[in-house]
Amino acid sequence: MAFDELRSNTKAQVLLGLIFGIIFGFLLQKGGVASYDVILGQLLLTDFTVVQIMMTAILVGMIGIYIMKAAGFVHLHTKVGSVGATVIGGLIFGAGFAVLGYCPGTAGAAVGSGALDALVGMIGIVIGAGIFARLYPRLDRKVLNRGIFPAETIPELLGVRAAFIVPVVAVLIVAVLFLLRMIGF
């Protein structure tokens, strides 16, 4: 299948998304971040496995997306953020994380490895998503659009090209990963 055909084939895109989602979940599991003890260690600042894996994922994803965008393989469709949406999202995510002990990604990986507590949590995530969807029109009118951010991306905010930001952020991530390794995390 040619790339242009893939771009217009919704079913193929969904299938690819599912395949890469499964691979990502598998890698989360293999990396150990689907373990409640590892997540608790991260929250207690005694185990930085989660930070290391997520920063590595951000690094690979950021570089990959930048290369694909530069080559014309992807077109980004960003959404303007806001203080209101960030606060509501942070509260929902934080409350769920505090109660469950997993974020949605690690909960999915934990379910895949047979963790019953994560399965119960995933049911809660689905119920919570339904409640949020039901309340969305009201939240959108009253809260989510408060304090609109002045730009959609960091390069736009700083008035520079992404070709400048990506290497700088990549170096910072590698430096943090190196520092964590040096201090024994």
Domains in the chain: boundaries: 45-78+151-185
Residue 84 pLDDT > 90: yes
Which of 3-12, 33-42, 99-108, 138-147 has maximum average pLDDT? 138-147
User: Is-above-0.85 flag for pTM?
Assistant: no
Distances (CA, A) of 89 to 7, 92, 128, 146: 30, 5, 12, 13
Give the span between the Cα atoms of 119 and 110, in whole angstroms. Answer: 8
Distances 22 to 74, 167, 173 between C-alpha atoms, Å: 21, 29, 25
Identify residue 176 by its one-letter amino acid code.
Answer: V
Q: Please, which pLDDT band fits residue 14 given cuts at 50, 70 and 90?
A: confident
Position 127 scores a pLDDT of 93
> Given pLDDT bands bounded at 50, 70 and 90, which one contains residue 98?
confident
pLDDT score recorded for residue 167: 94
Please check the confidence at residue 11 and state whether its pLDDT lies above 80: yes
As beta bridge partners, residue 82 has 148
The pLDDT-based confidence of 63 (bands split at 50, 70, 90) is very high
Q: 70 pLDDT exceeds 80?
A: yes
Closest CA to 122 of 135, 110, 134: 110
Alpha-carbon distance values, 115 to 25, 80, 106, 107, 172 (Å): 14, 36, 11, 9, 35
Q: Confirm if 64 and 182 have CB atoms less than 8 A apart.
A: no
* Residue range 25-36: mean pLDDT, rounded: 84
b/e for 162-172, b at 16 or more Cβ within 10 A?
A: beebbeebbee
Range 87-100 average pLDDT: 88
pLDDT for the residue 21: 84
